[in-house]
Every structure is written in C-alpha cells, then in structure tokens.
Structure 1
C-alpha cells in the first residue's frame, strides 16, 4: 500500500492556501518540514494535509498563530483533558465579543455623523468636520 504524497502546488490547491503561506508555516514551525524527493521537491504526506487544513480552519475562525500553535500542540495529546483547549477558545470568544462591541460603537458613531450631513457644500460637511483634527 503506497502513501499518497503531494507536491506543494497540490497541497496549496487542496487547502486553498497560497504556496508562500505554506512555506511561511513551515518556517515558523506550524507545519513540519516535508521530506524531499530525489529532485529536491517538497513531498507532503496526508498528515501535512490534515495539519494544514486544521491551521486554515482555525485561522478562518480568527485564532492567532500563537493560539493555533497551542491548539496544535494540545491536539497531539489525545488523552489529556480538553480544559486547555476550552480556555483558548473561550478567550478567543471574549476577544471576538470585544471586537463586535467596538464595531457596534463605531457603527453608531458613523451613523450619527452621516445623519448630521445635510448634503450641502463640502465647507458645511459634518462628515469632513468629524474627521478633521481639532486644532
């Protein structure tokens, strides 16, 4: 039984990850360096595909690279309690909630500024006034 190997372009397509990003993840240690063919091409195994898919999904959910690294380290310890994973996810959720709150406040402020605009001249524009620094 042969193990399926992938070239970097195949791995890129399979995970919709840019080749440069794959190399970056290798350089920072998130993705282990693959073996090399006799022609010195990278040769990725199914484990690389699974790990990169994990990284991509975690990044899509907004986890930082450090959080992804921690989650990957924890995922290798199958018998360990998942409390640490839960703590990372809960902290990330708190960060997401803070960002949502900040965006809601930003939206309200923009809405207020826009509603003050009478669509007169630029000289009377409330939006421009709100953006200009007070001297």
Structure 2
C-alpha cells in the first residue's frame, strides 16, 4: 500500500509516518519501479504498536526499547518490566503534580465567584500576589517525562 493508504488505515498523518521512519521506529519500505514507497501489513502492525505506546504516554526512546525487545522474542523481558515500572513512577508523579495544580486553580477560582470588572478580579489579584511572593514562576506542567 502507498503511504497515504497506510496513513488512512492507521489514522496516522503521513508526516508522522515519515518521522517514525527517520527515527528508526519503522523499517524503510520497499520502493516500487516509480520509486514510491510500498508498505505492507507488517508496517501497519508496527505503526499500530508505536501508536499504542504513544497513547500510553511513552517516549519515542521507550518505544524503541519495546520494539527492540519485540524484535527479539527469545530475549528476556526484564528490561521491558523495568522500563514500564519507571514509566508508572513518572505517571504517578505527574498525577500528584496535576492534583496540586488542580487545588491551586480551584483556590484561585474561589477568589472570584462571579464575573466583575478585571480590576476587582480575585483570580488576577491572587495570581499577582502569588507571583510577587514566590518570585520566578514555576515551569509549566509538562508531559510524562518533562518533554
């Protein structure tokens, strides 16, 4: 199948497929006589696996590790277990950070129960007070691995 057909079949943008190829996640496809890429079912299956990993919040490096283990089915999966355990720790930390952020936002929201002129807005005042008290702002909440 052509890259556009693979993209449609897997709901993956063409640019993403090409990016995964450049990153070594997808093997280079065969080329037809007119130099078009020709993808097979193995590409679609591998792409579905990659998308599953991305859906679980895994980095491309983690997915590379998983693919390396998937490609060596007789090997030990201890590395996979360790990597997933670490990923779970990252997710748990992110959940704690997001819960803290939620508490902070709810406290700010409670300072301004109704719409009013901006000069009297409790949210804006609260943010300004916090900024003056804390100094430089914290880094924004990032993805699972701070990416």
The TM-score normalised by the length of structure 2 is: 0.83
Provide structure 2 residue ranges, at least 5 long, that are not aligned to the other structure.
Answer: 136-147
Contact 2:3–2:37 (8 Å) recurs in 1: yes
Instruction: Judge which range, 17-26 or 119-128, deviates more.
Output: 119-128
Equivalent in the alignment of 2:73: 78
Determine the C-alpha separation between the residues in 2 that align with 1:11 and 1:48. Answer: 8
The yes-or-no answer on 1:127 pairing with 2:141 is no
Determine the C-alpha separation between the residues in 1 that align with 2:122 and 2:53. Answer: 41
The structural deviation recorded for 1:126 is 1.7
Equivalent in the alignment of 1:50: 45
Contact 1:118–1:125 (8 Å) recurs in 2: no
The structural deviation recorded for 1:14 is 1.2
Aligned counterparts, 1:1-135, within 5 A: 6-119=1-114, 120-132=116-128, 133-134=131-132
Determine the C-alpha separation between the residues in 1 that align with 2:2 and 2:126. Answer: 53
CA RMSD of aligned residues (A): 1.4
Contact 1:117–1:126 (8 Å) recurs in 2: yes
Determine the C-alpha separation between the residues in 1 that align with 2:122 and 2:72. Answer: 57
The structural deviation recorded for 1:50 is 1.1
The structural deviation recorded for 1:110 is 0.6
The structural deviation recorded for 1:90 is 1.1
Determine the C-alpha separation between the residues in 2 that align with 1:79 and 1:38. Answer: 37
Contact 2:109–2:123 (8 Å) recurs in 1: yes
Contact 1:71–1:85 (8 Å) recurs in 2: yes
